[in-house]
Structure formats: C-alpha cells, structure tokens
Amino acid sequence: MIDVRPFASLGGANHGWLKAKHHFSFANYRDPDRMSWGKLRVWNDDEIAPGTGFDAHPHRDMEIITYVREGAITHRDNLGNEGRTAAGDVQIMSAGTGVTHAEYNLEPDVTKIFQIWIMPDVRGAKPNWGAKEFPKAAREAGFEVLASGRPGDAGTGALPLNVNGAVLAATLAKGQTLTQALAPGRAAYLVVAKGAATVNGAALAMRDGAGIVDEPAIHITAEEDAELVMVEVAKE
C-alpha cells in the first residue's frame, strides 16, 4: 500500500520566523488518520528565518533526527554538546532520560530542515547527541544509511539510534531508478526533498510524502533530478 500525502495536504503553521509543515499530527495540527507510521511519529518540514530558532526546551524518550536541506542548524544542549550541521548532513539526538536543547539558524539565509521523530525501542536510555557529514556523491543511485539502530547496519558509519529503524537518503538523476527491499513487518515513509519521482507507480512532487507498507519492494524512478529521504521502521 502506498499512502501519498501531497505537500499541499499537510498540516502546519506560519509563526513568522518559522514556517512549518507537518506530515503527522503535531502541535495544533490534529488528524486522527495521520498520527504515526509504525514507529515513526513526526516528520516536520521546517523553514527557519535567519537569526532565529528554537529556544531551550526539553525532550525525553524520543529519537530526533535533523536532516538539513538548505543552510545550517546550530545545536546546544545541557549535556555540553554543541555543533553546526550543514546542508545534506545529519544530526541525531536520543533524548532518553531527558535532555534540554536549543536549535538556531545562525546563517544569513533561511535554513530548511526535515525534523524526524522515531519512538525508541527502550525507554529511559542514556541521552546521546551526534552529527556527521554525508557527502551526496556517496548516495548517487542508491540509498545511504545516515542513522540507524538496525543490527545489520552496525559498522556502516551511520549515526546511532536507539530503535530498530533507519534514516536513509539517495540522489537520482532524471530517468534513474532504484529498488529497495522492504521486509515483512516493516514500514517506510519517503519524502522527495528535491525534484520529482514515482514510487511503485505513484507520482510524488517535491516535498510530497508517501507511507509505504505491505510492499515487498520499493521501486523509485526519478522524473526530475531528485533527492530522497526515507525512514524504515517496524510496522507496529
């Protein structure tokens, strides 16, 4: 099954400094049919104005992944972590027993991010933060694992997650195709960060999402040069 969610159908809010779109229910956006996708709970498409950001606030028992599409985001937390993550790169925060953090756009231009929340397998884990550069050349015509807690991804260089799931990304030139297997009991959610593509025959424009479940494989064709981000998690 492919559940296409056009960008125009997403919930969201415009706070002036922040323009947010929500693939799933979040903040004041509530849709009982869009609460989660397996263990995936949040996928926010955020545009953050220069010199602004999210002031210090707490989280616990959630795996939070930030994929930077344009610009850069600067992180600070109460555990002493601080770092700048630029376009195409990824940061992770396993909130575990609790962490307070702030995220700012200290750049001269708008920063655009995907913020992804995945429910952990184990509650009360030790908090963790990390960030890493992922050159896009490494993901041409195939998915690269950016962050993962899947047993088979140990040693791949992916950022660690406290869940049997993964965040992946790929870039495809127009006309290129790729196939990604989806094991029984697993679910995927894919968003076209740039360009356009078809996913098992379903058309996706830029910033559209697709929930995928009960499909043995995902067949993707780029209708334009495309950048794809996908989460793969347990179905239940």
Prediction pTM value: 0.96
- What the chain holds in terms of domains, given with CATH numbers, is 2-234 (2.60.120.10)
pLDDT at 197: 98
- CA separation (Å) from 85 to 3, 65, 76? 31, 12, 12
**Residue length of the chain:** 236
pLDDT digits (tens, 9 = 90+) for 39-83: 999 999 999 999 999 999 999 999 999 999 999 999 999 999 999
Q: How far apart are CA 42 and CA 37, in angstroms?
A: 9
> Does residue 105 carry a pLDDT above 90?
yes
